[in-house]
């Protein structure tokens, strides 16, 4: 199953990778485009779709949650910068040890998405909630922390494709550049572009809070649909990495 998904992913990534390789003479652009290529890796695809579902749903129901979106992006930047600094400081030998830990973290993501979906649909109800989307004032601070952790954890949940892109392509390039320390952050921004673009589209089209203006019932139905979609993504992700 994973092999099949990876093959489809490689086919989608190939044209963008060709464009990225053509920009090697402009390292900053190359680093960011590698991140864009990474959005199509199986492990990043589910993470970005989940974030788009969460924040797209909130944007349509209330207002564009830019604070949460940027914290999600910041989580990615911190994660990739941390990994980049490890390689930068400790050398390439550390890359041989990191793959031992990534698969276990990756397997944790599917169940997390399922629980998030169950919270969105209302199947699981808790008085205190560690919310990733900050649905009320009471959980606003937890929502911000959750948005950051969502970006951070999904970035650390590497699959083989992302490992090759980040450690096999980006970091050797970064180590040969005087300002390569900035490349992991640019790579992280590239991986978050789908979430940023969707949020920008909703904002530009004036759809922020559109469902709330029409009907709370419609908004609730959309939230349930988003929750069900999250559950399906979680089941798919769990099946992909546990089977």
At 66-94, the pLDDT tens digits run 888 899 999 999 999 998 888 877 766 66
pLDDT score for 136: 42
pLDDT score for 104: 65
pLDDT score for 130: 40
pLDDT score for 29: 92
List CB contacts of 92: < 8 A, sequence separation 6 or more.
171, 172, 175
Q: Where are the domains of the chain?
A: 2-102+149-221
pLDDT digits (tens, 9 = 90+) for 175-205: 888 888 899 999 999 999 988 888 888 777 7
C-beta of residue 41 within 8 angstroms of C-beta of residue 159 = yes
> Rounded to 5 degrees, what are φ and ψ at 22?
-70, -15
Chunk the chain into consecutive blocks of 10 residues (it has 243) and report each block's average pLDDT, rounded to whole numbers.
Answer: 60 83 90 90 76 75 79 92 84 62 67 77 60 44 77 79 84 84 93 87 69 55 74 78 67
- The token duo for 12 is 């989608």
């Amino acid at each position: 199953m994973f092999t099949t998904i990876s093959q489809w992913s490689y086919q989608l990534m190939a044209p963008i990778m060709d464009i990225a390789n053509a920009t090697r003479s402009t390292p900053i652009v190359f680093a960011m485009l590698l991140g864009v290529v990474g959005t199509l890796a199986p492990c990043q695809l589910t993470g970005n779709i989940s974030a788009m579902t969460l924040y797209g749903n909130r944007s349509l129901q209330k207002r564009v949650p830019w604070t949460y979106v940027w914290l999600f992006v910041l989580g990615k930047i911190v994660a990739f910068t941390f990994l980049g600094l490890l390689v930068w400081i400790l050398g390439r030998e550390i890359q041989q040890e990191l793959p031992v830990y990534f698969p276990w973290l990756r397997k944790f993501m599917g169940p997390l998405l399922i629980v998030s979906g169950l919270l969105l649909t209302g199947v699981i109800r808790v008085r205190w909630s560690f919310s990733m989307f900050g649905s009320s004032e009471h959980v606003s601070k937890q929502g911000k922390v959750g948005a950051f952790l969502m970006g951070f954890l999904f970035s650390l949940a590497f699959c083989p494709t992302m490992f090759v892109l980040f450690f096999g392509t980006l970091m050797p390039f970064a180590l040969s550049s005087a300002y390569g320390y900035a490349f992991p952050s640019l790579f992280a921004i590239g991986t978050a572009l789908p979430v940023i673009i969707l949020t920008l589209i909703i904002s530009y089209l004036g759809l922020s809070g559109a469902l709330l203006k029409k009907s709370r019932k419609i908004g609730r139905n959309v939230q349930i649909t988003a929750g069900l979609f999250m559950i399906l993504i979680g089941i798919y992700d769990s099946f992909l990495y546990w089977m």
